[in-house]
Amino acid sequence: MQTQTYELNMGPQHPSTHGVLRIILELDGEVVVKATPVIGYLHRGIEKICEGKTYGQTIPFTDRMDYMHSMNNNLGLCQAVEKLMGLEVPERAEYIRVIMAELSRIASHMIYAGALVNDLGGVTGFVFLIRDRERILELFNKACGARMTFNYIRIGGVQQDVPEGWVEECRRFVDDFPEMMHTYNGLIMGNEIFQARMKDIAILPPDRAVAMAASGGVLRASGVNYDVRKDDPYGIYDRFDFDVPLGTKGDNWDRFIVRMQEMEQSIRIIDQALKQMPEGPVMAKVPKVIKPPVGEVYHHVENSKGDLGYYVVSDGGMKPYRWHARRPAMVNLQLLDELCRGYKIADVVAILGTLDPVLGEVDC
Amino acid sequence: MLKEYLAISMFFIVALLIPVAVIFISRLVAPKKTTPEKEEVYECGVDTVGDTWIRFKTSYFLYALVFVVFDVETVFLYPWAVQFQQLGTFAFVEMFIFIAILVVGFWYAWKEGALEWK
Amino acid sequence: MNSNPDLLTSLAGSIRSVLSPLIGNPDGVDMAMYGVGLLAVITLIFTNAVILVWGERKVAGFMQSRYGPNRLGPWGLFQSIADVLKLMSKEDYRPKLVDKWVWALAPIIMFAPAVAAYAVLPFGKDLVPVDLNIGIFYFIAVSSITTIPLLMAGWGSNNKYSLIGGMRAVAQMVSYEIPLVFSMLGAIMLVGSLKMSSIVEAQSHIWFVFLQPVAFLVYVIAATAETNRAPFDLVEGESEIVAGPLTEYSGMRWAMFFLGEYANLLAVSAIASAVFLGGWQPLPLPGALGDMMHAIPGWIWFALKTYIMIFVFMWFRWTFPRFRVDQLMGFGWKVLLPLSLANILVTGVGIFLYRVAIGG
């Protein structure tokens, strides 16, 4: 029987589009014929704004890009500017930066997994993940007074040293983490319906992943071993011993499980960093007015979404001449149409969840 | 006997009246401020594109056919189940043949892929 | 059996004795008693919905290690009353493009079968509102009407999300009706009657859940699907199709769907407890303990079993993620249906062999 396809707007106001993404779905019954993401609902013109700000003033804008993994966004920009200035960062600051970035990665992955489970209808999994994420946010709150947009990592170090008792509390979180993981294993990963919903859906072959410039968990789930922390170490990441979890198939399940394993690896890094962390100052001698020499720099870090790059051009003045961010979530989002075709509406939310876009970063 | 069915129809009539009454009462209580935007179809905050009432591909046409077969079977099976203990060997064997024919049909539908949601 | 009537039975008796001299005609008294039953059922549906809305949120809170509603009244008990008031005072608007009559009738038709199905529920010994001789068959017939208003709402709303939801509703509820119906067949073969009171009476020695464990499992799963609750909540699948057929409804119209759903939940739980868990029969314990169990009125047993079943359904809802539509259909047709058919055959052979063995 001849049937008609129809167009359905999923988003911008939809329970599971992770913000204000709009997907125009062309559907034949329940099957997706074409999926077109429409972005820009959260566009603030951050790159242009930053050209009118001093270098220090641009850091808060990075908080508002990928607001799930803000610490790493701060880190990337600060390291880019430091590279331009040739600035040495004190040891203790480096360690605090790593701990913060990895804690932030765990928090981001928790939101990722929680939102994904929630999109598949398992609300309880979401609540448990959020509950544990709260402890990380509390750690951030104690260190810098903010739970979401931190502005904590500054050019030349970090804003202030962690308060007394913070290291012990962080240590307790690290010690409790295996137990949390056990809960998720039982409630989420061990659930047969969840597995059936995720396995063998939306397979992304490694060559396509590379061709579409995917990065982060999406790329590694396809089996491509690429992690900026390993392949182009920045900061002091070369001092830590950790693995890069890889998927085998590149389906939804791999994209999910790779991130869950990454959380465990992050805990390993934090564990080592807490042990090695020296005493000392947390801020280098930085001039009051930051005026990097004329030149340009590209610096990239491993964000929870993928390869986050900053390109900063200085004309010798107080403000950057050009300020650009390579946003991994936006690049990964390009895969949506390719992955969704032929699957059902219910899979669209799962695929979108595994691509893990944060609209603040996609729209920037 | 008839009395009981009269009671059942009473249940139905009252059951239909309650929601009508409740909706009516809420109309009296609730505010009435309609704006053109409020009356739009909800599609995530953007205008809907194209017609909704189309030839929708449902994929359950074959399921529906199999359903009808089994639903009719239910009508036969229930009286049989009630009388099962009184009917003796003949009805026992007879019904099993009946079910067996259905199972063969079911197996055929399965084999032909009628039970796959495409 | 306890000979002295319990609270509700004696209440019914006294109402009857008050009404008899007033009306005179015994048929008229019977009709009046059905009316009393109807009133009781409606009260039950409304109070039950209020309790379940609160209960569901409390259970969800318990499952998710949080409090749930705790602001209004003791343990947040008045929360659902506040909800009702809110729903009452919400604007009753009709979107411009809907199919007027289909759209407006759907919530009414959703509610009606839910009430009508209660007519045959055996709340206790002599406490069946209308003890039809085809009781369970009537229940199945009436409760399956629920498919139609969901399709009406889906099609009439002129909304694509609603349309998808309505189509899913038909596919899902039609598919899971077969295993639901077949799963109860085994119990009926054991009883030899469709009358609800006889089905419960037959379980005075052993509950059918012990004789029909597979059927019970199939029933619970199929009933979850019939009531559109997670993991089978594809019809409303919030994260996929917003609210399915209910997207364009608000205020009291929406509340009618909601009431109907909770009424259905109670109804399927009540049937589960009547057909498989012995209805008003107390726990079959030996000796003095058994006598103690018998001292508890039957309707309390029935309510207890029903609400335990409801808790189980809520437990499912707050534990499992949602199925996908093809998995749902596959599971219904390829797992549950063969299982329930096999159950009928095994039950038949079992009864046959048993009768041969005792020489009947």
Q: In chain C, what percentage of residues exceed pLDDT 90?
A: 2
Question: Do residue B48 and residue C115 have CB atoms under 8 angstroms apart?
Answer: no
What tens digit of pLDDT does each residue of A4-14 get? 888 888 878 78
B115 shares a domain with B71:
yes
Is C17 or C79 the better-scoring residue by pLDDT? Answer: C79
> Is pLDDT of A259 > 60?
yes
Cβ of residue A190 closer than 8 Å to a chain C Cβ: no
Q: Return the bridge partners of A322, or none.
A: A313
Question: Do residue B46 and residue A22 have CB atoms under 8 angstroms apart?
Answer: yes
Question: Do residue C161 and residue B60 have CB atoms under 8 angstroms apart?
Answer: no
State residue C357's pLDDT score: 82
Mean pLDDT, chain C, rounded, equals 83
| C residues 19..38 contacting B (CB < 8 A) | 27, 30-31, 34-35, 37-38
A240 shares a domain with A308:
yes
End-to-end CA distance of chain B: 48
Is A363 among the domain residues?
A: no
Is B41 among the domain residues?
A: no
Is B78 among the domain residues?
A: yes
State residue B1's pLDDT score: 66
A105 shares a domain with A26:
no
- Rounded to the nearest angstrom, the minimum Cα separation between B108 and chain A is 22
Residues 6+ apart with CB under 8 A from A119: A16, A349, A350, A352, A353, C239
Question: Do residue B99 and residue C344 have CB atoms under 8 angstroms apart?
Answer: yes
- pLDDT bin (cut points 50, 70, 90) of residue C360 is low
Is B37 among the domain residues?
A: no
Residue A176's domain is classified under what CATH number? Answer: 1.10.645.10
Say if CB A32 and CB A25 are below 8 A apart: yes
What whole-number distance in Å separates Cα of residue A50 and Cα of residue C110? 57
Residue of chain B whose Cα is closest to the Cα of A10: B44
Is A102 among the domain residues?
A: yes
State residue C292's pLDDT score: 74
- pLDDT bin (cut points 50, 70, 90) of residue A1 is low
Say if CB C156 and CB C106 are below 8 A apart: yes
- pLDDT bin (cut points 50, 70, 90) of residue C3 is very low
Is B84 or C50 the better-scoring residue by pLDDT? Answer: C50
Mutate to test the interface with A, among C246, C324, C328 (most CBs of A within 10 A): C324
> Is pLDDT of B58 > 70?
no
B65 shares a domain with B26:
no
Question: Do residue C321 and residue A345 have CB atoms under 8 angstroms apart?
Answer: no
What tens digit of pLDDT does each residue of A155-164 get? 888 888 888 8
Residues C261-269, mean pLDDT to the nearest whole number = 88
Question: Do residue C242 and residue A14 have CB atoms under 8 angstroms apart?
Answer: yes
State residue C4's pLDDT score: 53
Is A48 among the domain residues?
A: no
Question: Do residue B51 and residue A2 have CB atoms under 8 angstroms apart?
Answer: no
Mutate to test the interface with B, among C143, C174, C241, C355 (most CBs of B within 10 A): C174
What whole-number distance in Å separates Cα of residue C333 and Cα of residue C355? 32
> Is pLDDT of A287 > 60?
yes
What whole-number distance in Å separates Cα of residue B110 and Cα of residue A37? 38
Q: Return the bridge partners of A297, or none.
A: A312
A91 shares a domain with A13:
no
Question: Do residue A187 and residue C319 have CB atoms under 8 angstroms apart?
Answer: yes
CA neighbor of C306 nearest in space, from C255, C258, C262, C256: C262
Question: Do residue A4 and residue B59 have CB atoms under 8 angstroms apart?
Answer: no
A147 shares a domain with A15:
no
Question: Do residue A14 and residue B44 have CB atoms under 8 angstroms apart?
Answer: yes
> What domain range is B27 assigned to?
1-31
Say if CB C225 and CB C197 are below 8 A apart: no
Residue of chain A whose Cα is closest to the Cα of C161: A8
Question: Do residue A15 and residue C238 have CB atoms under 8 angstroms apart?
Answer: yes
What tens digit of pLDDT does each residue of A50-83 get? 888 898 888 888 888 888 888 888 899 999 988 8
Is B42 among the domain residues?
A: no
State residue A106's pLDDT score: 92
Is A10 among the domain residues?
A: yes
Is B16 among the domain residues?
A: yes
- Would you call C127 helix, strand, or coil by DSSP? coil
User: Which residues of chain B neighbour C95 with C-beta distances below 8 Å?
Assistant: 39-42
Question: Maximum distance among all alpha carbons in chain C?
Answer: 71
State residue A258's pLDDT score: 92
Cβ of residue C335 closer than 8 Å to a chain B Cβ: no
Question: Do residue A121 and residue C66 have CB atoms under 8 angstroms apart?
Answer: no
A89 shares a domain with A20:
no
User: Which residues of chain A neighbour C66 with C-beta distances below 8 Å?
Assistant: 127
Query: Hunting for tokens 């309505």 — which residue is that?
Result: C166
Residues C21-27, mean pLDDT to the nearest whole number = 74
Is A361 among the domain residues?
A: no
Residues 6+ apart with CB under 8 A from C270: C121, C123, C302, C306, C309
A78 shares a domain with A19:
no
Q: Which of B19, B67, B110 sits opposite C178 (nearest CB)?
A: B67
> Is pLDDT of A212 > 50?
yes
DSSP conformation letters of A3-71: ---EEEEE-SS-TTSTTT-EEEEEEETTEEEEEEEE--TT---HHHHHTTS-HHHHHHHHHTTSTTSHH
A126 shares a domain with A1:
no
A84 shares a domain with A31:
no
Residues A138-144, mean pLDDT to the nearest whole number = 89
Token code pair at residue A51: 């050209």
Q: What is the pTM of this model?
A: 0.86
Residue of chain A whose Cα is closest to the Cα of C247: A14
What whole-number distance in Å separates Cα of residue C49 and Cα of residue C265? 10
What tens digit of pLDDT does each residue of B61-82 get? 777 778 888 888 888 888 888 8
Q: Return the bridge partners of B20, or none.
A: none
Say if CB C107 and CB B19 are below 8 A apart: yes
Which chains neighbour B (Cβ–Cβ under 8 Å, 3 or more pairs)? A, C
End-to-end CA distance of chain C: 27
> Is pLDDT of A18 > 80?
no
What tens digit of pLDDT does each residue of A288-302 get? 888 888 889 999 999
CA neighbor of C322 nearest in space, from C238, C227, C247, C258: C238
What whole-number distance in Å separates Cα of residue C343 and Cα of residue C350? 10
What whole-number distance in Å separates Cα of residue C238 and Cα of residue C102? 23
Q: Where are the beta strands (DSSP E) in A56-207?
A: 153-154, 157-158
Residues C21-37, mean pLDDT to the nearest whole number = 76
- pLDDT bin (cut points 50, 70, 90) of residue A311 is very high
Query: Which range (A158-167, C284-293, C341-350) has the least confidence?
Result: C284-293
Dihedral, CA atoms, B9, B12, B14, B19, nearest 10 degrees? -170
CA neighbor of C173 nearest in space, from A345, A355, B67, B43: B67
User: Which residues of chain C neighbour B11 with C-beta distances below 8 Å?
Assistant: 38, 41, 115-116, 118-119, 129-130
B24 shares a domain with B63:
no
Say if CB C332 and CB C179 are below 8 A apart: yes
Tally of domains in chain B: 2
| A residues 15..44 contacting B (CB < 8 A) | 17, 22, 24, 28-31
Cβ of residue B32 closer than 8 Å to a chain C Cβ: yes
Question: Do residue B57 and residue A7 have CB atoms under 8 angstroms apart?
Answer: no
Mean pLDDT, chain B, rounded, equals 80
Question: Do residue C352 and residue B92 have CB atoms under 8 angstroms apart?
Answer: yes
State residue C111's pLDDT score: 86
Residue B76's domain is classified under what CATH number? Answer: 1.20.58.1610
> Is pLDDT of B31 > 70?
yes
- Rounded to the nearest angstrom, the minimum Cα separation between C146 and chain A is 23
User: Which residues of chain C neighbour B72 with C-beta distances below 8 Å?
Assistant: none
State residue C318's pLDDT score: 87
Q: In chain B, what percentage of residues exceed pLDDT 70?
A: 96
A4 shares a domain with A64:
no
State residue C2's pLDDT score: 44
Cβ of residue B37 closer than 8 Å to a chain C Cβ: no
Cβ of residue A11 closer than 8 Å to a chain B Cβ: yes
A34 shares a domain with A94:
no
| C residues 273..332 contacting B (CB < 8 A) | 325-326, 329-330
User: Which residues of chain A neighbour C328 with C-beta distances below 8 Å?
Assistant: none
Q: Where are the beta strands (DSSP E) in C252-336?
A: none
> What domain range is A331 assigned to?
54-356
Domain layout of chain C by residue ranges: 93-357
Is A358 or C17 the better-scoring residue by pLDDT? Answer: A358
State residue C1's pLDDT score: 39
CA neighbor of A236 nearest in space, from A73, A98, A74: A98
Cβ of residue A14 closer than 8 Å to a chain C Cβ: yes
Tally of domains in chain A: 2
Residue type at A4 in one-letter notation: Q
A61 shares a domain with A36:
no
DSSP-H helix ranges across B30-116: 61-87, 89-111
